[in-house]
A and B are shown apart, each in its own frame.
Chain A
Amino acid sequence: MGSKKYNDLWFDYDLSILTLKYWKILRFAWKDSLTVKEQVFKEIGNARSRIYYWFDMVYCYFRYGAATFNYSAFKFYEKNGKYRNSFLTFRRYIKLIQTHFDWETHLLFKCKDRFNSFYRSFIQRKWLKLDSNTERKDILEFIACCSGGGIVKPLDSMQGKGVYRIYNNDIERIEELVNDLKQGNSFLIEEIVENIDSLKVLNPSSLNTVRVNTFIDKHGNLSFLNFALRVGGNGAVVDNFSAGGVVYPIDKNTGCIVGYGLDKNNKRYSHHPSTGVQMLGFQIPGFNELRSFVSDAARLNSKARFVGWDVAITENGFELIEGNFASDETILQLDGVGKYEYILRNW
């Protein structure tokens, strides 16, 4: 009975790895070994046979708990055992969450209305919770007072699923939304947040945010684990990694993009694919202020100790978009530095 709870948490994550029968990893690894081989060939012009990568993936799964997507994202194929062991891999990540799970904080971050209410001093945009009691009149009123329409999010979705824009004259969409509400689904409608121009150029269709991972250790000290810039894919509304976005690692001290971007198919980019803007060396505007903004937000709840914050940079200053309680391990270690030991020692 106990394991049922985590189904709720991971309902739309890649469940295959959790429910994995051991023989299944062979099939998964075989599928992914080809892409790894191609990736290596592209990078250094020379690669070993597919069977080598297949065995290595299976070994890494049993030895380090690395899922196949960990293997390629963290470049385990070119690293030795000591380096591999320093990473927070998928199995270790699940284990970490299960041992330090806090139901209340989980709900605070997962239910977007609670989050917006709790961090109200860091949020300037208007928002409204929609449930079965909401009338069509309220929705229309809300959209009318937002410049540029609203954005509708399911109340507890992850990875940017089911998020769409809604406009004042879009009667069909509003009708659809009202029908959804009648069926008992609940949503959150928010005012559109616009990037400042230098970030908007990267991908105009989506809101491009900075992901900051913070960690509060056992003595109560706050530390920044890493920074990353998330830019949406071509025509996408959201910038989520799993919805086609590209993630670029940012230097902790200077705020420059210091590495190639990664998308969910493990392709690496120096120029953003949709617009062709050169990304390496891109400076995040107002980086020091961003650090203090995030540290203020992170200190507000002492039980939320390991959080990934999504912060948008707008004309009116910083805007907290959402927080991810125990955010995922790929973006966390995008800069190629393993953080498993640090987290384990200081939790």
Chain B
Amino acid sequence: MNEAELRANHLLNYRLYSLKRFPTLWKYMKASASELSNRINRPKYLILLDMLYCNLRYGAMDSREYVLFSFYNKSNKERREYFTKRNYFRLIRKFDKTEFINLIDKSNQYNAYSEFIHRKWILCDSSIEKSEILSFISDVGDVIFKPISSDCGNGIVKVSSDDIQTINEILKSNNVYIVEECLKNCKELDTLNPYSLNTIRVTYVITKSGDVNVFSVMLRTSGVNESIVDNWGAGGLLLNVDVNTGVVCSVGLDESHKEYDHHPITKVPFVGFKVPQFNDVMDFAKDIARKNPKVVYGGLDIAITDNGLELIEINFPPANIGYQVFGKGYLKEINSIY
């Protein structure tokens, strides 16, 4: 069984209720409850009880969801609208299994959606000759090494073409990588943060009747100095974009729910920032969604470069937390799938 299949099986067989996990859960719950009780001035035991209640009643399986979705000041009606982790695992079980396992592997993704991916890439596994990779790198210039099935931007490395030593080290480690060309932002997005690729995350569902419903668009940028990935788990910032107009209508949020008016490095104000070529991005996303109707709930990472739009990757399924931290739950949209 390879890496991708292991990951898929882990997601498919994740236990919804488990006493085995309780000690770890309790540890994290206590930590976040004491932090919260300082912030919102409420007794710690009340928060702990509320967390347990939200876990059982609404399926907020870890305390992180309770904090990030601000369940502590939401009414029960609002809590009911959230797509929480237990619902997420329930949803995964309904997916088309072969397609799901297939698309977790990034190289299969790149082959399946090749018409939307214009950059050069090469699969780097045990079967390939080292000289082939080196010649690819000397062709393309700066490259990015991506582990084949990682999330949160873990293990992604940018290597310049003359840095032979690092390349040798990576090749020695015998992991399966995808080596691909380094992309550059278009001019407008470069003003936001020139160090990382600022991508647009489009989350969509395909409803029972077969319509593509794009319900959330987010702009992602890195908040850490000179970080090359914009993933939220790696210090990135999330900005919510109005689905109809393409204007950023929220402040930036990082993973610990800290708010940013301006970009911490470039000082560009976030609220009111206009996403360039927004209508094209939406059409592009809908084209990708229609390409494979079996991907009923997908998250697309789209980059806007000077040479047009580019699909970075497709997340099937995207994590449930990112698009719901702005104060609105999307369970209704998710329930329209099956």
Chain A positions near chain B (C-beta within 8 angstroms) = 1-5, 101-105, 107-108, 113-114, 117-120, 129, 220, 299-303
Centre residue among B78, B245, B271 by max chain A CB count within 10 A: B271
Q: In the complex, A301 Cα to B240 Cα: how many Å?
A: 12
CB pair A104 B326 closer than 8 Å: yes
Centre residue among B50, B75, B77 by max chain A CB count within 10 A: B75
CB distance from B268 to the nearest CB of A (A): 10
Question: Given contacts A1-B72, A1-B75, A114-B271, could you give 15 more A-B pairs where the C-beta distance is less than 8 Å?
Answer: A1-B73, A2-B73, A2-B77, A5-B73, A103-B70, A103-B326, A103-B327, A104-B240, A104-B327, A107-B327, A113-B261, A118-B247, A220-B244, A300-B247, A302-B242
Chain A residues with CB under 8 A of B70: 103
Known: A104-B327, A120-B272. A302 touches B245 (CB 8 A): yes
**Closest chain B residue to A7, Cβ basis:** B73
Chain B residues with CB under 8 A of A2: 73-78
Chain B residues with CB under 8 A of A114: 251, 261, 271
Chain B residues with CB under 8 A of A108: 249-250, 271
Q: In the complex, A119 Cα to B274 Cα: how many Å?
A: 11
The answer to the question of B328 belonging to the interface, with a C-beta cut-off of 8 Å to chain A, is yes
Chain B residues with CB under 8 A of A118: 247-249, 271-272
Q: In the complex, A222 Cα to B76 Cα: how many Å?
A: 32
The answer to the question of B269 belonging to the interface, with a C-beta cut-off of 8 Å to chain A, is yes
The answer to the question of B243 belonging to the interface, with a C-beta cut-off of 8 Å to chain A, is yes
Chain B residues with CB under 8 A of A129: 261
**Closest chain A residue to B251, Cβ basis:** A114
CB distance from A320 to the nearest CB of B (A): 12
Centre residue among A5, A117, A220 by max chain B CB count within 10 A: A117
**Of B75, B272, B328, which one neighbours A3 at CB under 8 angstroms?**
B75
Centre residue among B240, B248, B250 by max chain A CB count within 10 A: B250
Q: In the complex, A108 Cα to B70 Cα: how many Å?
A: 17
CB distance from B238 to the nearest CB of A (A): 12
Q: In the complex, A220 Cα to B270 Cα: how many Å?
A: 25
CB pair A1 B249 closer than 8 Å: no
CB distance from B57 to the nearest CB of A (A): 13
Q: When each residue 238-281 of chain B gets 1 if its CB lies under 8 Å from chain A and 0 otherwise, what string results?
A: 00101111011111000000000100000001111000000000
When A and B form their complex, what is the total count of cross-chain residue pairs whose Cβ atoms lie within 8 Å?
66
18 A-B interface contacts by CB (under 8 A): A2-B74, A2-B75, A4-B73, A101-B78, A103-B327, A103-B328, A104-B249, A105-B249, A107-B250, A107-B327, A108-B271, A117-B271, A118-B247, A299-B245, A300-B245, A301-B245, A302-B245, A303-B242
CB distance from A124 to the nearest CB of B (A): 15
**Closest chain B residue to A304, Cβ basis:** B249
Name B46-104 residues within 8 Å CB distance of A: 50, 70, 72-78
Chain A residues with CB under 8 A of B244: 220, 302
Count contacts on B: residues with CB < 8 A to the other chain: 27
Known: A102-B328, A103-B326. A5 touches B74 (CB 8 A): yes
Chain B positions near chain A (C-beta within 8 angstroms) = 50, 70, 72-78, 240, 242-245, 247-251, 261, 269-272, 326-328
CB pair A119 B73 closer than 8 Å: no
**Closest chain B residue to A2, Cβ basis:** B75
CB distance from B283 to the nearest CB of A (A): 18
Q: In the complex, A1 Cα to B72 Cα: how many Å?
A: 7
CB pair A1 B50 closer than 8 Å: yes
Chain B residues with CB under 8 A of A103: 70, 326-328
CB distance from A132 to the nearest CB of B (A): 14
Chain A residues with CB under 8 A of B327: 102-104, 107
CB distance from B266 to the nearest CB of A (A): 15
CB distance from A129 to the nearest CB of B (A): 8
Q: In the complex, A199 Cα to B24 Cα: how many Å?
A: 66
Chain A residues with CB under 8 A of B72: 1
Q: In the complex, A327 Cα to B85 Cα: how many Å?
A: 36
CB pair A303 B249 closer than 8 Å: yes
Q: In the complex, A4 Cα to B41 Cα: how many Å?
A: 13
Q: In the complex, A287 Cα to B72 Cα: how many Å?
A: 46
Q: In the complex, A113 Cα to B261 Cα: how many Å?
A: 9
Q: In the complex, A4 Cα to B50 Cα: how many Å?
A: 15
Q: In the complex, A316 Cα to B265 Cα: how many Å?
A: 35
Q: In the complex, A271 Cα to B332 Cα: how many Å?
A: 53
Chain A residues with CB under 8 A of B243: 302
CB distance from B44 to the nearest CB of A (A): 15
CB distance from B282 to the nearest CB of A (A): 13
Centre residue among A1, A102, A119 by max chain B CB count within 10 A: A1
Chain B residues with CB under 8 A of A301: 242, 245, 247, 249
Q: In the complex, A129 Cα to B251 Cα: how many Å?
A: 15
Chain B residues with CB under 8 A of A220: 244
Q: 3 nearest interchain CB pairs?
A: A2-B75, A103-B327, A302-B244
**Of B77, B78, B250, B261, which one neighbours A104 at CB under 8 angstroms?**
B250
